[in-house]
Amino acid sequence: MPVFTNHLKKESELIRLGVELLDAYCEDLRQEKPVSTADMRMAVYAMQIAFETLHLAKEESILYPALTNSEKWFSLPSETQHTLVTNLRAHEKGRRILLELRLSIEEYEHNPTRASLVGWRLGDFVDHLSCYLENEEKQIFTIADQILDSSAQKSLFHRALQFEQAHGFERTRSPFLILSHLRKAKGMTAA
Encode pLDDT of 170-184 as tens digits: 555 678 888 888 888
Encode pLDDT of 73-130 as tens digits: 888 899 988 999 999 999 999 999 999 999 999 998 898 888 889 999 999 999 999 9
Encode pLDDT of 140-169 as tens digits: 999 999 999 999 999 999 999 999 888 877
Entry pTM: 0.88
Domains of the chain: 3-185 (1.20.120.520)
Encode pLDDT of 27-64 as tens digits: 999 998 888 899 999 999 999 888 888 899 999 999 99
- Mean pLDDT of all residues in 7-28: 92
Closest by CA to 54, choosing from 41, 67, 42, 63, is 63
How many Å apart are CA 116 and CA 4, to the nearest integer?
40
HEC string of 90-144 equals HHHHHHHHHHHHHHHHHHHHHCHHHHHHHHHHHHHHHHHHHHHHHHHHHHHHHHH
- Mean pLDDT of all residues in 10-28: 92
Encode pLDDT of 66-82 as tens digits: 999 998 988 889 998 89
| Residue 54: HSE in the Cβ half-sphere, 13 Å Cα cutoff | 26
Closest by CA to 64, choosing from 128, 4, 124, is 4
